[in-house]
Chains A and B, each alone.
Chain A
Amino acid sequence: MEQLETAQQTKLSPFRQSRGWQQFRRNRLATLGLVIVLILWGATLLAEYVATHDPYEMDLANPFLPIGSQGHLLGTDNFGRDVFSRIIWGGRASLTVGIVVVGISASIGLILGVISGYYGGWIDLVIMRITDLFFAFPFFILAIGVIAALGPGLQNVMLVLGLVTWPEYARMVRAKTLALREEPFVESARAAGAKDLRIMFYHILPNCLGPVIVMATLGMANAILAAAGLSFLGMGVQPPEPEWGSMLNEARIYMRTAPHLIIIPGMIIMLAVLGLNFLGDGLRDALDPKMPTARQ
């Protein structure tokens, strides 16, 4: 992946690079998104230092403390556990889900997409029929169906979401490859004796990277949302492990006495997803000047 990125940078002219950066900076929402993402993920990565309490430590004498209580910034839950610390630690699950899911789906999608578009013929036909099949399912329904068979848990959730979302990448990369295949620089690479694999992974894929980055950012937002939904339904992270969706689920029965236990985790999920969506939207405007949604 790193190799691809450097390849991309060397290929782009400085002019376009700077233009993209300019446009991105001009888009204030995208900058805000980046700031939100950095703060949330920074706090999560440094959870050892940011969290004020052990997220598992119960204090049965002090349950349901409200926001702003002494020593508990965001209060405590039904077991007297510190909500702030559980939120910070809970971010690890969401962060992992986002990265792993996008990693799985983008790798499968990129490889199948470039093969499909480059070789064409029956290979293309088979791969595209498989993606059609995946698109025929409502995404969340297929996900819970597979979870039902595999059993709940964070690992299965990541696997399932990754395996269910790759066709989007495959379709996009295939379309790009079809266009790039006929470009002079690919022709010249072939004439210079480059092998198919080298052409696909060194010449074609780096040029698909812009839209892939946008798709991955928005895909990460969707993965976090879907994983939180699955945990909320009891199919993802299992208690007592802290995770935003399952915290909401646990708090449901105490909605009347302690509404803050509902409000806080939901707001954090929304912030994390919103940050990525702002960022993805801005990146799309910056990396793809032809998109009709471009705003100044």
Chain B
Amino acid sequence: MGRYIVRRLLAMIPLLLGISFIVFALLNILPGDPVSIMLSSNPHITPDANTIAQLQAQYGLDKPLFTQYLIFLGNLFKGDMGTSMYTQQPVLTAIWERMPATAELAIAALIISVVIAIPVGVISAVRQYSWIDHLCLIGTLIGVSMPSFWLGLLLMLGFSLKLRWLPLSGMGYFSNGVGDVLRHLIMPAFTLGFGMAALLARLTRSSMLEVLGQDFVRTARAKGLSERAVIYRHALRNGLIPIFTVLGVQFGYLLGGSVIVETIFSWPGIGRLAVNSIMNRDLPMVQGTVLVFTLLFILVNLGVDILYAAIDPRIQYD
């Protein structure tokens, strides 16, 4: 187990180098000079050749490309992702400040999606081809097809504007009580979790169908266990293992979705920071947010893989 973890960590090194190169390339190789792009978006500055040259020197853009990449990489190792071209704040500080908000939203969405998906998937597998299975199938396809930004706006329309039950947007704080946090959290978290719930429910269904056909389930039935015990104690535990492994991949959808959901609900997280910095043409900040999102994604997948090896004794990695 220990050796497996070390090997996985070592395998991450070339991957991280590749990712850092792609993110670096976003700013430096693709067409368009970042300094003039940034200046052109700010009406208060009239760019002249002198200012441009000065700024290029400041961001190291006058050096050869490969040198720039090495400097970028060296700075990354020191935890320096550059400074925002817009607010002059260090990129890492800005992202770090918004991390808790995004984490809160993502975890809540994950919980909501699992709570919806597992029962739905189990029920449609147990009652395969029944009307309830068909209903769940249509429901999950609708869930997958529904744009999250539309669902979010519909919820706002219904629960905030019409019924006036929930605050329209923003994030609650624990200093105002847990109720404040939950009332602000529920709509964005549901919006984010809904699409994922649909995907997870489909996976749960097919995974459960496979497990229910296996010998040990027949044995459990044959020894006279109640159907409930067979399904929940024997089948579900094994059926959940493959679902657990895709949770890591699904987390990527969650991160992508958070960009949209945070924007709709004015949620002060990294996703909204990413969108705002794209609007402001703040390329170091865009780089930083893409990099942090990708790192989160990789780390979660690594964690899932390692936990998977720990959960399922059939898997041997050494």
Binding site for B on A (CB under 8 A): 29, 129, 132-133, 136-142, 144-151, 221, 225, 228-229, 232-235, 245, 248, 252, 255-256, 259, 262-263, 265-267, 269-270, 273-274, 277-278, 281, 292-293, 295-296
Contacts and interface: CB of A to CB of B under 8 A. Distances in A.
Interface stretch (B26-34, B95-103, B113-121, B217-225): B26-34
A145 B286 contact: yes
Contacts, number: 146
Contacts of B281: 148
Contacts of B257: 140
Nearest to B287: A145
Given A141-B290, A269-B147, A136 B157 contact: no
B298 interface: yes
A233 B129 CA distance: 40
A121 B146 CA distance: 42
B36 interface: no
A221 B146 CA distance: 11
B283 A256 contact: no
Contacts of A295: 129, 137
A289 B142 CA distance: 24
Nearest to A151: B32
B142 A270 contact: yes
Given A139-B252, A149-B27, A274-B145, A269 B297 contact: no
B109 to A, nearest CB: 14
B310 interface: no
Contact of A144 (B15, B147, B157, B278): B278
For the residues of A in contact with B, the DSSP-based class is helix
Interface in B105-148: 129, 137-138, 141-142, 144-148
A293 B153 CA distance: 33
Contact of B31 (A150, A234, A256): A150
Max chain B CB contacts within 10 Å: which of A144, A221, A245? A144
B259 interface: yes
Given A149-B32, A293-B206, A141 B153 contact: no
A269 B154 CA distance: 14
B274 interface: yes
Given A138-B255, A266-B150, A274-B145, 17 more contacts: A29-B141, A136-B294, A137-B19, A137-B294, A140-B253, A141-B259, A141-B290, A147-B278, A148-B278, A150-B30, A229-B147, A232-B149, A245-B147, A248-B150, A255-B153, A292-B209, A296-B129
A37 to B, nearest CB: 12
B76 interface: no
Interface in B242-274: 251-253, 255-257, 259-260, 263, 274
Contact of A148 (B22, B161, B202, B283): B283
A137 B297 contact: yes
Nearest to A225: B147
22 contacts: A133-B15, A133-B22, A136-B19, A137-B252, A140-B256, A141-B256, A141-B274, A141-B294, A144-B274, A144-B275, A145-B26, A149-B26, A149-B30, A221-B145, A225-B145, A256-B161, A263-B154, A266-B149, A270-B146, A277-B144, A293-B206, A295-B137
Contacts of B14: 129
A267 B286 CA distance: 31
A266 B206 contact: no
B160 to A, nearest CB: 10
B253 A273 contact: no
Contacts of A137: 19, 22, 252, 290, 294, 297
A62 B82 CA distance: 50
Given A136-B298, A138-B297, A225-B145, A259 B157 contact: yes
